[in-house]
Amino acid sequence: MKTELKSFQLPDEKGYFGPYGGSFVPPQLQGVLDEITQAYMEIKDDEQFLTELHALYKHYVGRPSPIFHARSLSEKMGGAQIYLKREDLNHTGAHKINHCLGQALLAKKMGKQTLIAETGAGQHGVALATAAALVGLKCDIYMGEVDIAKEKPNVIRMKILGARVISVTRGTKTLKDAVDEAFEAYLGDPITQFYAIGSVVGPHPFPMMVRDFQSIVGREARQQFREMTGSLPDNLVACVGGGSNAMGLFTAFLDDEEVLIYGVEPSGLSLREGEHAATLTLGKPGVLHGFKSYLLQDEKGNPLKVYSVASGLDYPGVGPQHSLLKDLERVTYVTAGDSEAIDAFFDLSRFEGIIPALESAHAVAFALKLAGKLEKDKTILVNLSGRGDKDIDYVAETYGKDYGVV
């Protein structure tokens, strides 16, 4: 095994995972990021910090999340045995709470007063507003005007939780503009505010820090799976937007050569430009939002329009460690499209009684295909990153007729 794969030895001191990652930010921000890095390195192995964080994981989030053997679905496919790591059962319904709590605790320790972030569909905003309420920090969430109109329940949730939701009215009034405005607000006062990033993306130390906070998923899964079956899973599968739930599951297994690992990107409507968000599959290395990684970009380096039925997956970049894992061929990156994800959404609902998030349904879709090709004694562990309650209205309206819902 190449030594660069040793899970926790990356990134290097400058935040590089091989050629990817780093920190491409204005000089006035670099000083603040260095402070965050230093504060994080001090607490990361601190017993008191870890005890506090793990007590919250247990008593607040409800960890460890169970692993469930999806027997009916496995039987239907007639091949490998499919298991689900149930991150959908966490408080707030997805894996995001894991890194939001970690960042909120760190911000509190650093004496910050306000957590800020952008949000698209509102999932990161809700998880962060939750963590802010719990640890006693203010919370400002920047959200495009268009998304605010589309995602009403999440906007109301954030407000009930005591967060301010700032409507972004510039440009396309969606996620990209919300990122820009949140970033400007942060530059205006990086001393009392803490910018909590929603995935393993952004400048150093965020890809490392968010990965570390999420790595609880894989550490639990490794032990639980061994207890259940007597060995490690033969295959891991997770969906990849920015890549945090995937890194969360993968990290504990990177050094186990016998475990094959798959990251699933959204191929949306097709692999034509503007109709997908398959960054690692079709992108090229470049710099966006302060870090270097594979990107979907035009010749001038501007991000391309991206699309997926799962709004949590439609990002033109991807976490830098995924870019390295692709180049090293340690992880195989594959795609699943809208219609496959919708099929998997209904399959999991109807065969197992579990309604998955549309993001997670992409991982399930690929796992079903893979299972069909493998022998019955092989195993596949899927990270079920979130629950589908947030998606049911959209699914019923858009696909309900085809599946006998309306």
Ligand X SMILES: *Cc1c(COP(=O)(O)O)cnc(C)c1O
Catalytic residue annotation: 96, 118, 385
What are the residues facing 284 on neighbouring strands? 295
Is 193 one of the binding residues for ligand X (CB under 6 A)? no
C-alpha dihedral, 355 to 311 to 93 to 331, nearest 10°: 90
Residue selected from 98, 244, 297, 323 as contacting ligand X according to rule CB under 6 A? 244
Between 112 and 141, how does the x/- string for binding to ligand X read (CB under 6 A)?
A: -----------x------------------
Closest to ligand X by CB, 143 vs 357, is 357
> Shortest distance, CB of residue 318 to ligand X, whole angstroms?
8
Residue 71 DSSP code: H
Site string for ligand X, 82-111 (x = CB under 6 A): ------------x-x---------------
C-alpha 154: how far from chain center: 18
Residue position matching structure tokens 């298991």:
83
The only residue of 288, 386, 391, 395 in contact with ligand X, by rule CB under 6 A? 386
- Chain centroid offset of residue 85 CA: 14
Instruction: Identify the CA nearest to 92 among candidates 168, 198, 193, 165.
Output: 198
Q: Is 66 left (phi over 0), alpha (psi -120 to 50) or beta?
A: beta
* Segment interacting with ligand X (CB under 6 A) among 46-54, 65-73, 234-242, 270-278: 234-242
Q: Which two tokens stand for residue 148?
A: 């605010």
**Judged by CB, which is closer to ligand X: 102, or 312?**
312
Output the furthest CA–CA distance in the chain (Å, rounded).
58
CB under 6 A: which stretch of 269-277, 335-343, 355-363, 366-374 binds ligand X?
355-363
DSSP single-letter state for residue 8: G
| Smallest separation (angstroms) from ligand X to the CB of 182 | 16
Residue labelled with tokens 């995924």: 322
CB of 149 to ligand X, least distance (A): 20
Nearer to ligand X, 79 or 119 (CB): 119
